[in-house]
Structure 1
Amino acid sequence: MKPGNFILVQNFDPIGQGIAFFEHNGFTHAALVSGEGKVIEATAQGIQENALNYERYAVFEFVDATDEQLKGMVEFGRSRLGEGYSFRQDAGFAVNAILEEMGFERISGLLAEKNKIVCSAFIDLCARSQGIVVRPDRKPGDVTPPGLSYSTKVRLVENHNLWEL
């Protein structure tokens, strides 16, 4: 695991349970690896740099990313420290999941807020800041934790006590 990689977490707090239900996938949170044992993540308290303290997670790397791009992602992530978390964007992802389940197209940016973000959108924007488009089929920031794992631009490198992949 090195700075610029990201983790996808399996946890089942209330928001995590909603994500797992709507996405039909166990990944419920995403965080950017910033250093030895540390991650930058968007949590209910906003964007913070914290110790890596999750029990169940997978480490992913960006395919073909240069060391300079990885470093740039971490610098970009740190530049966003203190910004708020978007509970409304979480709700928008849930509505979009329902729309997709019903056969309708998703509404990109539904309920997004200025200067507030969710965890997976944060990872997407960190990557895009370095020219890496994780999900070319989505607009910037319009990606869920499971959606990050579905990309051909990333690959799994470590599994830590996951229930499923």
Structure 2
Amino acid sequence: MLVMHSVSVGTLLGNFIIVTGSFLTLMILIRIFAWSKITGIFDDRAKQISDDLAKAEEARVKAEGYVSEQEQVLKDSRLEASQIIGQANARAAHDKEAILTQAKEEAQSIKDKAREDAEAIKVEAVESAKEEIAALAIDLAERILVHKLNETERETLVDRYLDRLGEN
């Protein structure tokens, strides 16, 4: 068994040396021929990840700027809407006052016209009454001149005259 053991240790040691040598040779060949490509792939990947992170950060900053810009636009829009409503209310109040003033002026004009018309009718009625009174006076005078009236006839004539005045 001893012999087997020594052969096996020797074989084992030989195998170890061959495997180690192969491994070292493989590592040297990888270092010479493939190491730059492997590290280049890792570097490219790291650069791509870094660029993606930078783009993501830039997009986040841009989105935050856009959000704040939209908030400002919304705030400005609300302010402008408030101003427009205020102006519309002021314009409506002004228009209301103008309409009320115009209505009052028209009502006063109608009153003045009615007053003038009533005054004209009154003047016309007075003129008409004067004409009738004058006509009656002339008629009475003609009758008095045509007849010499006695006291009774005169009273009767004056009473009739006064009755005719009351009828008109």
TM-score category (smaller protein): under 0.3
Higher relative contact order (CA 8 A, sep 6+): 1
Structure (1/2) with the larger strand percentage = 1
TM-score normalised by length of structure 2? 0.14
Larger Rg: 2
TM-score normalised by length of structure 1? 0.14
